[in-house]
Structure 1
Amino acid sequence: MVTSHDRAIGSLVNAQTRAGAAAGRTADDILAAARAMTEPAHQAAVERLPEEIRHVAGYHAGWWDADGRPCAGTGKAVRPALVLACARAIAEGAGWPGRAGPAAGAVRAAVPAAVAVELVHDFSLLHDDVMDGDPVRRHRPAAWTVFGTGSAVLAGDTLISLALDVLADSGAQTKVLTTALLRLCGGQNADLAFERRTDITLAECVTMAADKTGALLGCACELGALAGGADPARAARLREFGEHLGLAFQLVDDLLGIWGDPETTGKPVYGDLVARKKSLPVVAALTSQTPAGERLARLYGRNTLDEQALAQAAQLIDASGARLWATEQARHHMEAALEHLERAEPAPDAAADLRVLAHLIVHRDR
């Protein structure tokens, strides 16, 4: 059910998105342009892989089915779009590829970084599905269920190597990517470790989300800024834009993992509770020192949770104030992201695109 708490996030990002609409470019426009720029280079990189690994990687990307027959891609290319928009935001003018101006060159120079970020993202999804046992990815069977766990893991490992190879000629950008990659892996490891712990603090959980989700979005924005010629200060501001955006995304994703509509999220009702995820709202409730939080801790200690217990757990998280906390934190990080964007002094058209992308990433149907 959509509540006033849920609508609070949308009220901010909808207002920001109107500026992007005024520029005449929708989220679909921005993503389609990003795919047109980056997908040929992405596919060319994957084509260099050994045949069996290439098959898994291409299936995961949505380029072909399990038998190798071509089909429409399923990835949105959000991260490549962030890379390209941040390159434009820094470069002079507001040109797009094919038009005159420094921004066109900046976007072309940013394509390798955009491909590298998408390769790392695909690595993380391949491994994440294996670790969580998730059978579906992008509305079809996850790669590990089709090709086996070992093949999916090896494909993910190979995509990391390929991403670094794509950026081999750029020492500074490679360092940015590897730093984010280490944080991403650390965040994923913490997420797994939390499943076995009962003493998690909320600060630890926020750090985990910042590393697991925020690091790569921040990396995408920083790489784009560097390709556009940004000095370290402006590149850092755009990195902060991406990192806060990542935290806002994770908070909303965690809310959807409990209260989201399965028809729109593709996840089962109370899916994160069934898996006993120590997500941000759950940890906020468990550490709230409220009667509802204490009752939730007892529920989470059971061996199994039936439908009635799952519904009760969701009610207790809400009653503890954790649902409101997560909604307000998502709004806070969205506001912080937009503040960092403005401080980077981006070119107006690119800034409008980045606001549209921020809306797409954070504001989804409940």
Structure 2
Amino acid sequence: MSESYVFEELDCDEPTNEQTRFKRLQHVVSGQWKNILIGLLSQTLYATFLVLLTYFLTKGRVYETEIVTSSTFPALPSTSSKADSTSASTTTLLTPAPSNINTCVFGFTYINGKCWRLFTDPQTRENADSVCMSYGGSTLFSIRNEQENNAIFDFVSNSSVDYFWTGLICKGNTISSCIWDKESGSADGYDNFSDDYPDVAIGECVYFITTGSEAGKWKSGSCNPTMSFICELPPTIQDNNCENNYNNHCYLRYDLSYTVAQSQKFCRSICGNLVSITSANENRYVQSIYIGGGYITLGAVVPNVNIIYWMDGSPATYNNIQHYTNGTCLFLNLAWDSTDHWYTVDCAEESWFLCKRSTGANYIC
């Protein structure tokens, strides 16, 4: 066979191969076109989704920043928080206070985990309690163990005073009938009464003896004599940004009528919540922030008289509801001599309010 014939044969085969390939490709496409189309559409949709997701995430961050920096609330008069004359920003920046440093307020002295202040101007037991109330809602002092009994004795050793009112009231001649202010437990766990005391036939107010053979002992007697006294507060964490500092919490007063929802929204904007109250002593402290009558909103929801849900998540360890109606929100009566401190109201009712936050932290909200 000649060379020219070979080349001619090869040249003739080339178009045939291309046609075969084209036919095969055409066959594959015609048989799988749906799958190919679905794949292309999926890739297109996925790419579009990624683009949109990136766009909205970026836009969301910008929008959140705009809310934080530009949203405002009406300014509220406050005795403890200086608001701008036209608005209070939803972003609150506070200078950090030294953390975990126990301190005492109102000139009290830190001793054995408590804050005490001595008053040597003699008062009746009732008047002594009123004086303590005016110093941050403090109570007449309590003694829970022998160490505290000795600490009190040392605290007053140079006072040249024979007797001091305590925060203990006895309703009977048994130790269990003697209750510390304010509803903070009985003397059952520890007492240092002199023999044959308490004796409510003599009187129900308990005083501490500092001189003579019974120094360090307690006796009960009439509440009418005048004696020196010691007021007590719990220690708290130092916070240079807080005027009303009690038991590791800061209380921010706002004297403008808001509904419960509006008040809570405002408190959240300054890193707090509407005030919760978890003990009789805290209830007393909150009342002490105000002078005179009136009422404030508490940060609670009350489905019934025996159930309280605090908005800040605090446990419902204390209940002082005296008047229960169909309302599911709570007001606190501010009168110092009042005994019906809490009552339920409709949540649309407006009143002054108090915000509460933890102390000793650098807040950004």
> Do they fold alike, i.e. is TM over 0.5?
no
* TM-score category (smaller protein): under 0.3
Select the structure that is richer in helix.
1
TM-score (norm 2): 0.24
Q: TM-score, normalised by structure 1?
A: 0.24
Give 1 or 2 for the bigger CA radius of gyration.
2
